[in-house]
Chain A
Amino acid sequence: MAKSALLKSSLAKKYWMALTGLFLCLFLAGHLAGNLQLIFSDALHFNQYALFMTSNPAVKILSYLTYFSILFHAVDGFLLTYQNVKARPIGYAKNNPSANSSFSSRNMAVLGTLILVFIVTHMVNFWAVMHFDKNMPLQSITVEVMGQKQELYVTTNGGYMPVSQVAKSYEEAMKTGAQTYIEHRTDFYNTQARVKIGEGYKDLHKITVAFFKDAKLGLIATVLYVIAMFVLAFHLLHGFSSAFQSLGLNHPKYTPAIKGFGKAFAIVVPLLFAIIPVYIHFFLK
């Protein structure tokens, strides 16, 4: 172990690149399954899923692994690319690389950097809002009670809480005399007893729909999202099968199958991701 420098050598870096890359492919599949609920399910199920993803301990471990993988993959990728650029200080006056290699395989670093930019903006837009925004709305539904429209918060134990009777804070409840107020962003508290009586769902569904339906920026956001998915597709077109080669898995029987599956994965996954904002922007409601 000591002799081989399992972090430093060229091959070791490639192993880590491949392992983190493949883990991120798994992450993509999981993330996609969740996102597709924006099309195939309702707001409640989507928000339940979002809550599960931010609170379940097993998912927490997976999400930390994902953060780590993205960082490690990016840093390792930059190191490798830096060395690769250094390995040819003087370029060719005439070069014809398309004669022997694919566009994707030659531009993994550029594609990856664009993906990194996308991941950061994507996390600012959704992940950070979900995790840190103090004004994140809680999910409510509108019902008709005796001809009167009424807004009700949905609680995680399947109950409802009339929006008109819930104050934004204890101070507000003291002023307005509301029976209930919101504490810790999602908890419903009884004003007299000051104890928790229920919990609401952060309405990520609403945030997402509003983001892509925004009158000013919704179209731009949708177009940029679709472009980012093209970039991801090209990264994976080479990356998926390349990772197996990096790990030493090249076999006359299995490699064609891995390549075929990799191509399909690289097209289908980004395509399904891209359909979601397009559907929200142009077709929802």
Chain B
Amino acid sequence: MSTAKNINITLKIWRQKNAKSKGSMETYKLDNVSTASSFLEMLDQLNEQLVNERKEPVAFDHDCREGICGMCSLYINGRAHGPDTGITTCQLHMRMFNDGDTIYVEPWRSRAFPVIKDLVVDRSAFDRIQQAGGFVSVNTSGNTIDANATPINKHDADKSFEAAACIGCGACVATCKNGSAMLFVGAKVSQYALLPQGKVEATQRVLNMVRQMDEEGFGNCTNTGACEIECPKGISLENIARMNREYLKASIK
């Protein structure tokens, strides 16, 4: 398809030298951006321009560039991962924008995700939540059981699989007005709570993960539903409800 054309845009980007410095929004003009390029390719193009001008390129996170690693972030024009739904920033294309547009690009804003540099934030709070309970303990000393040996209800398997689709990108936190991580934690708790393998540690898991979530300084869910809409993997609010049930069950045990 040769419907691609070139557009000229203005970018307003958050620049911050390091975790300690203050940072501010800076304006850049970028011409001849192909609408066939991805958003991250557009940022690459900007960085080339900055390097040619002997300026510091914009730091941003990315890895797989195909929507599976969860590394790319960016709050674009007031939306996590930009306009368009069900995608990560690496899956966002410049055809979503028009000639002459001004595009705001900001890092995830959350106390638990401090900015390291420019658009890069530290999401290790998610890792610590995972380490607090997002696993099953299996004996791997040569006697692994075939996965299919344990019968699992198809409905539960599907729900668990849906929850497991979470890539830990943090868009839910970024978009939530409360900076709440409950969609992420809800997905991680649900993924295991639905399976027989996860039931063994279910009580400790939900108590520990929620405690860690609170300690990291994430906010509290108000059920606005923004996370569900912005999540690139379509993680449903049902998962937060399931976490709430699991926590209640675990609390009165």
Check B175 for interface membership: any CB of A closer than 8 A. yes
B222 neighbours in A (Cβ, 8 Å): 80, 84, 105-106, 108, 242
Interface string of B193-218 (1 = CB under 8 A from A): 00000000000000100110110011
Check A235 for interface membership: any CB of B closer than 8 A. no
Which parts of A77-126 form the interface with B (CB within 8 Å)? 80, 83-84, 86-97, 99-102, 105-106, 108
A227 neighbours in B (Cβ, 8 Å): none
**Nearest chain B CB to A136 CB, angstrom units:** 42
- Knowing A84-B177, A247-B244, the reply to whether A105 touches B224 (Cβ < 8 A) is yes
Q: For the complex, what is the distance from the CA of A99 to the CA of B229, rounded to whole Å?
A: 9
Q: Is the pair A248, B225 in contact by a Cβ cutoff of 8 Å?
A: no
Check B250 for interface membership: any CB of A closer than 8 A. yes
A13 neighbours in B (Cβ, 8 Å): 220
Q: Is the pair A12, B251 in contact by a Cβ cutoff of 8 Å?
A: yes
CB-defined A-B contacts under 8 Å, sample of 11:
A1-B251, A1-B252, A3-B207, A15-B248, A88-B179, A92-B104, A94-B77, A100-B226, A105-B225, A246-B223, A248-B246
- What residues make up the interface of A, taking CB atoms closer than 8 Å to B? 1, 3-4, 6, 9-15, 80, 83-84, 86-97, 99-102, 105-106, 108, 238, 242, 245-250, 252
Q: Count B interface residues, CB 8 Å.
A: 50
**Nearest chain B CB to A114 CB, angstrom units:** 17
Q: Which of B78, B224, B230, B240 is A92 in contact with, Cβ under 8 Å?
A: B78
Q: Is the pair B210, A10 in contact by a Cβ cutoff of 8 Å?
A: yes
- Knowing A10-B210, A10-B214, A84-B180, the reply to whether A102 touches B247 (Cβ < 8 A) is no
Interface string of B19-32 (1 = CB under 8 A from A): 00000010000000
Q: For the complex, what is the distance from the CA of A1 to the CA of B247, rounded to whole Å?
A: 11
**Nearest chain B CB to A141 CB, angstrom units:** 52
The stretch of B35-43, B105-113, B132-140 that contacts the partner chain: B105-113
B78 neighbours in A (Cβ, 8 Å): 92, 94-97, 99
B241 neighbours in A (Cβ, 8 Å): 245, 248-250
B226 neighbours in A (Cβ, 8 Å): 97, 100-101
A6 neighbours in B (Cβ, 8 Å): 251
Q: Which residue of A lies closest to B182 (CB)?
A: A10
Q: For the complex, what is the distance from the CA of A101 to the CA of B177, rounded to whole Å?
A: 10
Q: Which of A12, A87, A95, A101 is B224 in contact with, Cβ under 8 Å?
A: A101
User: Apart from A4-B207, A101-B226, A250-B237, what 14 extra A-B contacts exist at CB < 8 Å?
Assistant: A3-B207, A9-B210, A11-B247, A83-B220, A84-B219, A87-B110, A87-B219, A88-B111, A92-B78, A92-B104, A94-B77, A96-B79, A106-B224, A238-B223
